Amino acid sequence: MTTDTESQLRRMQRIALLLLLLMAALFAYTLHHPAPWAAWLHAFSEAGMVGALADWFAVVALFRHPLGIPIPHTAIIPNRKNDLGESLSRFVAENFLEPEVVRKKLRSVDLSAFVVVWLKSEKGRRSVEDLVATILRWALGALHEVRVRRFLARLSSKQLANINIAPLLGNTIEWLVRGQRHQEILTQVLRYAIVVLHDNREAIRARVQQESPWWLPGFVDDRIMKKMLERVETQLFEMTLDPDHGLREKFNEWVQRLAHDLQHAPQHRRWGEDFKQQLLDNDELQDYLYGLWRELARSIEEDIDKPESAIRQQVGRWLDNVAGELEADPDMQAWVNTWLTEAITAVVARNSAQISSLISDTVQSWDGMDTSRRIELAIGRDLQFIRINGTLVGGLVGLVIYAVKLGV
């Protein structure tokens, strides 16, 4: 099937050929013509014909042997395509992939504005949502593979075997203590305990009555229980409201001592190792955890396949928030521009050889004649103007030479 490019090339080739034939016809017509003007036209057509043939030879020699004759230094592109590919690869690397060139171009573009517009567009949002869904689908699919699960199980077991649980737990508690976060946790636990105690008064009273001696009157049980619950609730309220409560201080001392013992006491280290080994050896626990994972994975897979996926909607809302915040924050826009500029420049600088080698590797994989044909289709139409210009310029030069010969 002939393409538009091929049709344009053939049309220009026909024009150049017709011009050559015109020169040949003029040359033959004026060869022995007696008129004075015929000599001038003869000189013009003779030089034009020579120019046309010379430029035809030069153009054709780039792509193939003229008339199929293997003249030296012809069919340059098929014979030297690999060298041309290497030269083009070096040219691109040295002139287009230089870090300063890339950095200068990127600095002239407001990359953050492009990011905002892209994130706000339906296409950009859908692309990110599809990417997240694809990654999730791929990850979940991979984790369903038995060999992948076995590999991850071996890897996690080895990693867990290298962890000292007791010191790790001690360091975590120490971090909580440094920021008084353990007191905040205690406050939340106390508040929850007060609510649970208040909501379950009747259940506690019924339980106490069941466990009381048969000879103890019920009103005594009620009175004792009421006083006890009131005292417990009062104590919890006081601990919740008073950050300097004595029991809080004792809790603080206990937590600090526990953190120290977990990090340094041999018996706590042994406990940590025993607990870790129990986790590694407990097949039922691993089966239970895998069952939970399968349920979670199935629910995620079902959700991302729905038209109104909750995960997709959550990603979309997050993208809207990111785009909105970025659009309203000039400082962040400047940081994004700088970061993207430097990141892209670094990637290009580090991989410029691999990027440019794509040209040479691709050219090397092409057949010689196929490469010649590709290049001829790309630039052949413009090369035909060389033939046309060569014909006309050659004719004009012929006129000048003839005029000089006559001494005009």
Please write the tens of the pLDDT for every residue from 75-85.
888 888 888 88
Per-residue DSSP letter, 66: G
Q: Which two tokens stand for residue 88?
A: 């083009």
- Evaluate if residue 73 carries a pLDDT over 90: no
Which residue would you say has higher pLDDT here, 206 or 62?
62
For residue 228, give every residue at least 6 positions away whose Cβ sits within 8 Å of its Cβ, in sequence order, or none.
none
The pLDDT value given to residue 368:
80
Q: Which two tokens stand for residue 104?
A: 């200068």
The pLDDT value given to residue 50:
92
How far is residue 112's CA from residue 339's CA, in Å, rounded to a whole number? 10
Is residue 389 classed exposed, middle or buried when 0-12, 13-18 and 19+ CB atoms within 10 A define those classes?
A: middle
The pLDDT value given to residue 301:
82
Dmax over Cα atoms in the chain, in whole Å?
A: 155
The pLDDT value given to residue 214:
47
Q: 361-382 burial, b if ≥16 CB within 10 A, otherwise e?
A: eebeebeeeebbbebbeeebbe
Match 């007191």 to its residue by tokens. 183
- Evaluate if residue 47 carries a pLDDT over 90: yes
- The alpha helices in 144-265, defined as continuous H runs, are 146-161, 165-178, 181-199, 201-211, 218-241, 246-264
- Contact between 78 and 369 under an 8 Å Cβ cutoff? The reply is yes
Is residue 271 classed exposed, middle or buried when 0-12, 13-18 and 19+ CB atoms within 10 A define those classes?
A: middle
- Evaluate if residue 1 carries a pLDDT over 50: no
For residue 119, give every residue at least 6 positions away whose Cβ sits within 8 Å of its Cβ, in sequence order, or none.
125, 128, 319, 320, 322, 323
- Which residue ranges make up each domain of the chain? 4-79+366-406, 155-281
- Contact between 64 and 79 under an 8 Å Cβ cutoff? The reply is no
- Contact between 57 and 20 under an 8 Å Cβ cutoff? The reply is no
Query: Which pLDDT tens digit goes with each residue over 181-235?
Result: 888 888 888 888 888 877 777 776 666 665 555 444 555 456 666 777 778 888 8
Q: Is the dihedral of CA 342, 346, 352, 354 positive or negative?
A: negative
- pLDDT interval class at 307 (50, 70, 90): confident
pTM for the model: 0.49
Least Cα distance to 47 among 406, 404, 396 occurs for 396
Which residue would you say has higher pLDDT here, 408 or 279?
279
Give the three-class secondary structure for 18.
Answer: helix
For residue 387, give every residue at least 6 positions away whose Cβ sits within 8 Å of its Cβ, in sequence order, or none.
16, 19, 20, 52, 55, 56, 59
End-to-end Cα, the chain, rounded Å: 55
Q: How many helices (H) and strands (E) does the chain have?
A: 18, 0
Query: Which pLDDT tens digit goes with each residue over 338-357?
Result: 999 999 888 888 888 887 88
Q: Which two tokens stand for residue 52?
A: 């046309």
